[in-house]
């Protein structure tokens, strides 16, 4: 049963679109920020140093932390591409057209242990809200191998969002927000991907966005619109842990989606409730049971205690970052 989301505590203040969050073993917490790229949440310098963005309509979205302490930032704006935050307020290009990355919205990126970077190319439509049709399938997954160019390794998907390699290293999982499903692909030599396998299909009120793994083989997801936090267990059961919305708002969003009138106003329905359009999660705390919840419209990061531990991510014990 879902708990009352409005009772959740919040860390940080004055954040600007903290869509993606990263937690570390020593308690540090970072969030994506529209003005600064990435900020350390709760630190004295939380306000950060504004970035001089390399393009108009640059929208910092998914972030990743590298072993050298720099951050990768996916641009979900129309130019796309990925940039690297190398010092407070200073960016360097990381993945651009030179590597074959198209000028289209890049939602999320995931660097794996082998040095590959997996890309969630959520749509070719400009503006991207034109992809919010229930039958749209123009999204793709790309991979950039070390020193190489990007290759599309999966296509025909319904608005790819967060994607991650699972702890076994065998599978790449991805949320397809508009197709309303969690999918996975076997990672083959190359690396390439096998055929898409549907893990879970979601119904009324769920448009999956954020994605993480727990220590017992489960997958955790967030949903925009309804502000839901869900867990898909290893046997495929989907359990709702949090919801922060109401039936009337969900009904209105569903009606618009069915009629292909689903736009930014509808997908942002969750902004009117306390979790402010839940978009991501990160397990943290000494026991990896503290869940930090990122969102599209909050000025802080909501905090919830999970009934089991998350899986420690690759960046869990990274040392000082470029903004510490």
Helix (H, G, I), strand (E, B) or coil at 7: helix
Full-model pTM:
0.97
Mean pLDDT of the 92-96 span: 96
d(Cα 150, Cα 171) in Å, to the nearest integer? 19
d(CA 216, CA 17): 31
pLDDT at res. 205: 97
Question: Averaged over 266-293, what is the pLDDT?
Answer: 98
Tens-place pLDDT, residues 128-159: 999 999 999 999 999 999 999 999 999 999 99
Q: What is the pLDDT of residue 3?
A: 54
Q: Is the pLDDT of residue 44 over 90?
A: no
- List, in order, residues 6 or more apart from 237 with CB less than 8 Å away: none
* Distance (Å, whole) CA 73 – CA 203: 31
Residue 249: which H helix or E strand, with range? helix 247-258
pLDDT tier, 55 (very low <50, low <70, confident <90, very high otherwise): confident
Three-state DSSP class for residue 115? coil
Per-residue model confidence (pLDDT) at position 4: 56
CATH code of 3-305, in short, is 2.120.10.30
* Contact status, residue 178 vs residue 218, Cβ threshold 8 Å: no
User: Beta strand 3-4 with 238-243: parallel, antiparallel or unpaired?
Assistant: parallel
pLDDT at 311: 98
- In the chain, what are the domain boundaries? 3-305
DSSP 257: H
Q: Residues 6 or more apart from 69 whose CB is under 8 A from it?
A: 318, 319, 320, 321, 322, 324
141 Cα distance to chain centroid: 14
- Name the token pair of 243: 């919801």
């Amino acid at each position: 049963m879902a708990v009352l989301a409005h009772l959740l505590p919040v860390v940080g203040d004055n954040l600007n679109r903290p869509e993606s969050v990263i937690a570390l073993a020593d308690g540090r917490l970072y969030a994506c920020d529209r003005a600064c790229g990435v900020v350390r949440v709760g630190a004295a310098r939380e306000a950060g140093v504004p970035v001089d963005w390399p393009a108009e309509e640059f929208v910092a979205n998914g972030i990743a932390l590298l072993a050298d302490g720099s951050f990768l930032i996916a641009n979900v704006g129309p130019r796309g591409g990925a940039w690297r935050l190398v010092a407070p307020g200073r960016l360097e290009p990381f993945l651009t057209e030179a590597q074959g990355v198209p000028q289209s919205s890049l939602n999320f990126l995931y660097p794996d242990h082998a040095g590959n970077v997996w890309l969630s190319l959520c749509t070719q439509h400009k503006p991207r809200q034109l992809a919010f049709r229930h039958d749209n399938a123009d999204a793709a997954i790309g991979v950039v191998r070390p020193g190489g160019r990007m290759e599309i390794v999966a296509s025909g998907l319904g608005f790819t969002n967060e994607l991650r390699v699972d702890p076994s290293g065998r599978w790449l999982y991805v949320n397809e927000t508009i197709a309303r499903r969690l999918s996975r692909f076997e990672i083959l030599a190359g690396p390439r991907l096998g055929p898409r396998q549907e893990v879970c299909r979601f119904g009324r009120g769920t448009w999956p966005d954020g994605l993480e793994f727990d220590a017992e083989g489960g997958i955790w997801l967030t949903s925009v619109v309804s502000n839901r936090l869900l867990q898909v267990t290893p046997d495929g059961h989907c359990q709702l842990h949090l919801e922060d919305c109401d039936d009337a708002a969900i009904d209105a969003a569903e009606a618009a989606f069915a009629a292909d009138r689903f736009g930014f106003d509808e997908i942002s329905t969750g902004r009117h409730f306390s979790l402010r359009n839940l978009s991501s999660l990160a397990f943290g705390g000494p026991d990896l049971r503290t869940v930090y919840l990122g969102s599209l419209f909050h000025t802080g990061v909501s905090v919830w205690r999970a009934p089991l531990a998350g899986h420690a991510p690759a960046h869990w014990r990274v040392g000082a970052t470029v903004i510490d």
